[in-house]
Structure 1
Amino acid sequence: MAMKVKELAELVGISVRTLHHYDEIGLLTPDEVTSAGYRLYSDANLEMLQQILFFKELDFSLKDIKEIINNPSFDQEEALNMHRRILLEKRQRLDQMIATIDKSVQHVRGEIKMTAKEQFEGFNFSHNPYEQEARERWGDHAVDQANQKLQNQPPEKQKALSDQMNSIYTRLAAIRHTAPTSAEAQTGISEWYSYLNTIGTYSPDAFKGLGQMYVDDERFTRNIDQFGEGLAVFMRDAMTAFADRHS
């Protein structure tokens, strides 16, 4: 049953203005607008709003949320499972910080003596790791950036890079039946890592995420497997082993 904007705002506990803003920026557009101008939200809209609020709870920006949920490869069930795992990890860190506070109170009272390490257990000031994981799964930024850089090269440079890419694919296809962790496979995938970093910027973790996309996104799989059936899976596994060794 469709819900009016005020009803949805009251149900969720957010403001009508917030829902209007989501509509204005194309983040959450109601499936129906009456002739009188009333926004009507469907069950599908409610499910999408839930996803948006889960991402907000994990400190994603609205811009990044929009990019992720509009990605053709976005999978709602996969996202929910990721949210659950991430929230469990977040709860574990909060429990650790609470334990650190309790020990700190005892330390101030002189009841215990905390080490320097113990005083900072639970703190994490790194860049949002959840955002990185989601962007590696559903964000195409690194791939788009590399493609744009390639297109900006002069024609002769583009051809040289294209030939080099095809050559690497061909060599990897020839060894795709070997173990992805073998020295031969790792030498070949290391060459692929070096190549990608000449046209883009890939950390080992991003490289690992890209490898997963080779299997999850049928467009990647189809193009890569032209060089040999099963090559995408082999590259994914070899890239994972490479990233785990270099992280």
Structure 2
Amino acid sequence: MKIGPEHKAASPLRRWAVPLSVAAGVAAVSVAAVSAFGATGQPKPRVADPARSGESRTSAPSPTPSTSRGSTSGGAKSESSPDAFTITNATTTPIAPGTVSKILSSCLGPDASKYHAVIAVRTPVVSDNSDGVVVAVDSADQYVQCASKGDKGSSQDSPPTFINNRLWGTGRSIEYFDSTREPAGKGQYLMLGAGHYTTDVAKVTVSYGNKPKEYPAVMAGGAFVYAATLRPDTPPGPHYAGPSPYIHAYDAAGKEIYDQMKDPQFTSEP
């Protein structure tokens, strides 16, 4: 499934394992994130094909944890509950500048010289597809997000600046770029996402599923990145949905000014 910025609404997502808004030129398992910041019109997420092999490349999910639990039908064994999990590591480490240049070059080709990196970090665990992320911006304030594997980079968006032009809404302080949930070795997953925030935001955090703990996101240059290693508390089935990540934003006084779980873009039916 392919979409472009001109595509309009569909109903909100109900499970993390079902992707939204597939980016142009990307396979069905690669899903472009929705954005919710500062333009006109308020189209809702589009639903694409279910993710395969436990991998989900998706936008910020619909905050309905109670509807995303596994169920038992006809005596069959239930899937592992997406809310029965442990975050074992949420620490990122910087990527060396020389390596960042190589990542952007392989990700963006001849356009790489137009961009400067604002965030470049390694994730706490390595998945089959990535071990880090670089977010860069050009002189026109167009962002790109490149997944890294070693010193190589790639973008699931075509063009890479597609993240700036999809599913805009008015009066928003947070825009979502691409987010993923990928297997990362036996029994664990890499949760990774990025986005953009307005100048009234001083702190961005992320919580997972029904757990209240919030983990700080890496912030720089108007962009944020979060990454964590997640381990289900019980062995997951082949279609493990996993918990949803929820973004929170705070102003300089410490007041929460955005809570994704209360965002109508994700909680309202069309």
TM-score bucket (shorter structure): under 0.3
Q: Which has the higher strand share?
A: 2
TM-score, length basis structure 1: 0.26
Under a length normalisation based on structure 2, what TM-score does the superposition of the two structures give?
Answer: 0.24
**RCO greater where, 1 or 2, for CA within 8 Å and sep 6 or more?**
2
Q: Larger Rg: 1 or 2?
A: 1
Task: Looking at secondary structure, tell me which structure has more helix per residue.
Answer: 1
